[in-house]
Amino acid sequence: MGRVFVTRRLPGDALKRLEAEHEVEVWPERLPPPPAELRARAREAEGLLCMLTDPVDRALLGAAPRLRAVANLAVGTDNVDLEAATERGLPVGFTPDVLTETTADLAVALMLAAARRLPEAEAAVRAGDWLTWEPDRLLGRDLHGATVGIIGLGRIGCAVARRLEGFGVELLHTSREGGTELEHLLARSHFVSLHCPLNPETEGLIGAEALRSMRADAILVNTARGPLVDTAALAVALTSGEIAAAALDVTDPEPLPSDHPLLGAPNLVVVPHVGSATHATRESMAGIAVANLSAALRGERMPHAANPEVYGLR
């Protein structure tokens, strides 16, 4: 039996399975443990089950000499210093292939919400500002028949493309294998949806120059990673009318402070990183994370390790 620290309570019954094998401490608060608390709790832990919001850096790993494995409740590992973990021989688990369809659903929902101005319309009803039917009020834009540019035709990008076939759209895409040049995609697309990974080449991909090259009636959708978009440039583009709207599930920084300039920009739909937020998907993610951690603590290979090379080092 090992000692495990879990940085947030998990949906479903995955924690019960973990507790049946190990001594488990769960951070009880809604907000993530502050860095000092995370270091203190990890210091005596053999296993760490963390979220994308928990920085598992070299300093934390160095302060946790008993740590044998890290399981990240996320498809990505942006929050984990994989190099430092691999040097220590620590496997780092992740939860791939589980949120593809759910995130694709949200991407299309955000397209429709921004295009049809649904948050603005719903707020008007609640404010009592629905006096009569007006022929020129709350006019939006059509998704059917539009040109949609998908940046990053991986698993989620392909799932979005499948959904959009029913809308009769013209699809453009960029990918590692080719597709449309980014400049051409931005210039032609009524909707631009981001599904590429975050890395040094893609950070700030949609900046001031890219936004200026987009159509004035374009809608930008981001369900991938916040730093793909230059937040300050997006605020300027929305305020000046360079693009028509944006719909975001992820931001930079995340979360956005309540007084952030982007939140004052017009024609913005923003939700709090809920791409995977369905009962089934989050429970599956929890199950995979627990399976990763349990296997590692038994001395077995993680089913889903982000740094499988550690097994070649042992």
Identify whether 25 is a catalytic site residue: no
Here the contacts of 33-39 (C-beta below 8 Å, separation 24 or greater) are 33/7, 35/60, 38/7, 39/63, 39/64
Residues 67 and 61: beta-carbon distance below 8 Å: yes
Marked catalytic residue, from 254, 260, 283, 301: 254
Active site residue 254: yes
**Nearest 5°: CA angle at 178, between 173 and 179?**
30
- Residue 139 phi/psi, 5° resolution? -70, 130
* 273 catalytic per annotation: yes
Which among 225, 242, 282, 304 is annotated as catalytic?
225
- CA 122 to chain CA centroid, Å, is 26
List active site positions. 225, 254, 273
